[in-house]
Structure 1
């Protein structure tokens, strides 16, 4: 199959969000005066953050609420007298500066951009994702960035994929593929929208979900042969 439109998830597919997230979390708390940022504190934050994002993706909370609430819950759970709104602002600013590429991301984007159009599809905050891509060096290969914040709907909602595809040059669904690490957002979204998908699965996790990827790859450099 020859594809001409490549829709990439951003975090943990092209950018190592876990590494950026921890660097930004530690920097944020230290700027607020809390110097001893333990791994367990960050792990608690991650669990709270993940639960809130899942709620956002099903319409349970707004993104503005999520951005502050994840810090409010973390601080309340650990008895930290820190300002969650200030933490949110500092964290988002830091996140755009702590960009770490997944191995092979630049080469993959360059290779695919030479034969088609590469677009980003992300549930992240629009301004932050724009700045992170600019800082990553991938911007020269990317034609457009579709965010849930700008769209008003989040993956796996088909309305989000309508919005993303509408930003690209006209191609058929048979020529379009999504590459992402999340079965519940990227791959399930592709299934519902009626396009092919490639599950980026570096940890080689079992698929126990209802989502069915067309392809699966544990490394980004293993993806091109299937797509070209």
Structure 2
């Protein structure tokens, strides 16, 4: 196998962020005393959150603004009288307690860490992501965590990948692969930086973007085989 550095996205690649997000949102609303209309509020919150993250990745808003604005706008549009700053704090504090691993996450990290070095590349909040990784049980397989917050630039910006690869014990573009679920952040970033990529596509979506993955898998347990590591039995890792 030619790869020795494996750069994994975290949310919706190794961790089921959708499940964690909903659990943490529900916990936050209950903690703040809201009981009615939470499902509809959550649906709108998700739409606003996705838009704000896209704006953050384009560099048009800051992460501190995003963290509060998604609640402020959701509350305003739904006539909910709650403090958005408090909601943001409660929500972020609860995320490490709602970690859900995607099927195969532990096996693939264990197997690939035995071959080379596994790093995490994430646009998430550094302190929260580190706590979530610790809670997930994946920490023992991961050599480093690169966050956009610490870097100052977000995926797919090439400067983020330059920052991340400097954290590796050894780096060569020819022996590095990025693995992630997002074409517009992970795969496009890999294309721009000139390294191989593996698109984790569990829903088997069509690729209508300009991003071009080197590999594509719908199951985490298929990654090693896709990268020509057929000698690794992930199901026994």
TM-score by length of 1: 0.99
Other-structure match for 2:220 = 220
Between the aligned partners of 1:142 and 1:212, the Cα distance in structure 2 is: 26
Between the aligned partners of 1:224 and 1:76, the Cα distance in structure 2 is: 47
For the pair 1:42 / 2:58, whether they are aligned, the reply is: no
Other-structure match for 1:176 = 176
Post-superposition shift, 1:36? 2.5
Alignment of 1:155-194 (within 5 A): 155-194=155-194
Post-superposition shift, 1:2? 1.6
Other-structure match for 1:62 = 62
Does the 8 A contact of 2:217 with 2:226 survive in 1? no
Between the aligned partners of 2:49 and 2:198, the Cα distance in structure 1 is: 25
Between the aligned partners of 1:135 and 1:210, the Cα distance in structure 2 is: 35
Which structure 1 segments of 5+ residues have no match? none
Between the aligned partners of 2:37 and 2:221, the Cα distance in structure 1 is: 35
Which structure 2 segments of 5+ residues have no match? 230-237
Other-structure match for 2:233 = none
Q: How many aligned positions are there? A: 228
Between the aligned partners of 1:99 and 1:125, the Cα distance in structure 2 is: 15
Runs ≥4 in structure 1, deviation > 4 angstroms? none
Other-structure match for 1:88 = 88
Listed one character per residue, the Cα deviations across residues 199-219 of structure 1 (whole Å, up to 9, x for unaligned) are 000000000000000000000
Does the 8 A contact of 2:122 with 2:147 survive in 1? yes
User: SS in structure 2 opposite 1:120?
Assistant: strand
Does the 8 A contact of 1:29 with 1:37 survive in 2? no
Post-superposition shift, 1:171? 2.5
Alignment of 1:100-139 (within 5 A): 100-139=100-139
User: SS in structure 1 opposite 2:98?
Assistant: coil
Other-structure match for 1:145 = 145
Post-superposition shift, 1:109? 0.1
Q: Note closer, same or farther for the CA distance 1:89–1:33 as it changes in structure 2 (3 Å cut).
A: same
Does the 8 A contact of 1:26 with 1:37 survive in 2? no
Kindly report the root-mean-square deviation, in angstroms, between the aligned alpha carbons of the 2 structures. Answer: 0.8
Does the 8 A contact of 1:2 with 1:175 survive in 2? yes
